[in-house]
């Protein structure tokens, strides 16, 4: 059974120790996968390259938008192989050759590169702006009033080793808590569509919510924030899509087409009326007809949440997570920016173009 299938069969994420084992195994797995899997898909007779990927339940990803809008036509096409609830798992699958690309927050990319995996980030795909951000919520009647009170409490997150965990570390470290105290926060992994329900049922004390699921919870009422990304970081690029280095070397035209299309999809979502974006998302979900999906939460979408122009990457997109990575022992030292990312395949982004106050 493949790593991808094993992980997909679990409702949550493996323990932190398992994450470390997977990260170390990723680079070795590349050489063991066989040449076909490690080198990725071959172009067909018309020159179109198929890119395998994982999706997210009840959500529409930027590559899916790009394909729907025709930005990939005649160059690449997508092949969905299943869903994930975890950025770290998604880029693991790309690193081991079970998909061609995956996306995760910058700290997970740094961790995987540090483990020896041959991957590189090529475009930002999510982050925080005035309308789109992650919030950490409690019920209105909760006794919790500030982030430091999360010590000893259960907090719902989408994965271990992801941005939610880094956020909690960063906000508590900023409040003066020691790494030992921060470890006392109990992280509970939950699929994003079900996280709000777990909070309302009292199964957890607080929960991380973003995107349409955060907007849905706020619209329903009865919840309030302890802190948000806007409080902690301001506008910021949060995560990147990555490809394997061997795939990039062999298929530069396919990578360029992907980055070009995703960048255009970012700007399309940024500039298109919200109702039209939601209608497009709805068409995509209905047309793909995946099992047990719902379009109900799509109406709460507010923004693409990528501050940078066409997803342009800068060193600061990774520097934000380095204190967490080093203090927790996830990496011994931060990788060089040149080992982490490249903008060479992004033909439209000639400068970061971050809004005033953004960290980049």
Mean pLDDT on 71-90: 90
pLDDT, one tens digit per residue, over 170-204 is 999 999 999 999 999 999 999 888 899 999 999 99
Question: Residue holding tokens 């948000």?
Answer: 228
Mean pLDDT on 328-349: 91
Q: What does pLDDT average to over the chain? A: 85
User: What is d(CA 292, CA 290) in angstroms, rounded to the nearest whole number?
Assistant: 7
User: What is d(CA 112, CA 122) in angstroms, rounded to the nearest whole number?
Assistant: 15
What band does 47 get if pLDDT is binned at 50, 70 and 90?
A: confident
List helix spans (H) across the chain. Answer: 3-8, 16-32, 35-39, 62-68, 87-95, 106-114, 163-174, 179-182, 192-200, 211-220, 229-232, 245-250, 252-271, 274-288, 316-319, 322-327, 337-340
Q: 59 near 301, Cβ under 8 Å?
A: no
What is residue 197's predicted lDDT score, i.e. its pLDDT?
95
pLDDT, one tens digit per residue, over 129-170 is 888 888 999 999 999 999 999 999 999 998 888 889 999 999
User: What is d(CA 342, CA 346) in angstroms, rounded to the nearest whole number?
Assistant: 9
Mean pLDDT on 70-85: 92
What band does 279 get if pLDDT is binned at 50, 70 and 90?
A: very high
Query: How many CB atoms are located within 10 Å of the residue 163 CB?
Result: 28
DSSP state of 311: G
What is residue 17's predicted lDDT score, i.e. its pLDDT?
37
User: What is d(CA 313, CA 122) in angstroms, rounded to the nearest whole number?
Assistant: 8
What is residue 297's predicted lDDT score, i.e. its pLDDT?
84
What is residue 358's predicted lDDT score, i.e. its pLDDT?
41
More confident residue, 40 or 203: 203
The DSSP H or E segment spanning 40 is none
Domain architecture of the chain: domains with CATH:
3-128+239-340 (3.40.190.10), 135-232 (3.40.190.10)
User: The whole model's pTM is what?
Assistant: 0.81
pLDDT at 101 > cutoff 60: yes
Q: Please name which of 270, 280, 336 lies closest in space to residue 303, comparing C-alpha atoms.
A: 270
User: What is d(CA 342, CA 313) in angstroms, rounded to the nearest whole number?
Assistant: 8
pLDDT, one tens digit per residue, over 231-254 is 888 888 989 999 999 999 999 999
What band does 285 get if pLDDT is binned at 50, 70 and 90?
A: very high
What band does 121 get if pLDDT is binned at 50, 70 and 90?
A: very high
What band does 357 get if pLDDT is binned at 50, 70 and 90?
A: very low
What band does 350 get if pLDDT is binned at 50, 70 and 90?
A: low
Mean pLDDT on 317-339: 90
User: What is d(CA 145, CA 136) in angstroms, rounded to the nearest whole number?
Assistant: 12
Mean pLDDT on 59-85: 93
């Amino acid at each position: 059974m493949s790593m991808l299938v094993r992980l997909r069969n679990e409702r949550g994420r493996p323990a932190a120790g398992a994450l470390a084992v997977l990260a170390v195994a990723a680079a070795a797995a590349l050489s063991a996968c066989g040449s076909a899997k490690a080198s990725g898909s071959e172009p067909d007779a018309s020159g179109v390259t198929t890119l395998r990927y994982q999706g997210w339940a009840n959500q529409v990803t930027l590559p899916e938008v790009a394909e729907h809008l025709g930005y990939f036509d005649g160059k690449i096409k997508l092949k969905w192989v299943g869903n994930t609830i975890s950025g770290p798992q998604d880029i693991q699958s790309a690193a081991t050759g079970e998909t061609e690309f995956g996306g995760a927050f910058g700290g997970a990319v740094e961790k995987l590169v540090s483990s020896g995996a041959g991957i590189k980030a090529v475009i930002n795909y999510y982050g925080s702006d005035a309308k789109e951000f992650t919030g950490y919520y409690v019920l209105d009647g909760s006794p919790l009033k500030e982030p430091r009170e999360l010590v000893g409490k259960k907090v719902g997150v989408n994965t271990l080793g992801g941005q939610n965990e880094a956020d909690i570390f960063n906000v508590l470290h900023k409040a003066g808590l020691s790494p030992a105290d921060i470890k006392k926060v109990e992280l509970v992994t939950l699929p994003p569509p079900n996280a709000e329900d777990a909070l309302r049922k009292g199964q957890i004390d607080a929960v991380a919510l973003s995107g349409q699921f955060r907007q849905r919870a706020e619209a329903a009422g009865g919840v309030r924030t302890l802190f948000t990304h806007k409080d902690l970081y301001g506008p910021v690029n949060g995560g990147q899509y990555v490809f394997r280095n061997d795939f990039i070397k062999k298929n530069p035209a396919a990578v360029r087409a992907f980055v070009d299309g995703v960048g255009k999809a970012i700007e399309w979502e940024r500039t298109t009326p919200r109702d039209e974006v939601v209608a497009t998302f709805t068409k995509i979900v209905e047309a793909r007809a995946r099992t047990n999906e719902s379009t109900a939460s799509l109406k709460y979408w507010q923004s693409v949440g990528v501050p940078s122009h066409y997803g342009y990457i800068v060193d600061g997109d990774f520097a934000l997570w380095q204190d967490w990575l080093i203090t927790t022992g996830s990496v011994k030292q931060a990788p060089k920016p040149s080992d982490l990312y490249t903008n060479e395949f992004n033909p439209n982004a000639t400068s970061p173009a971050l809004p005033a106050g953004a960290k980049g």
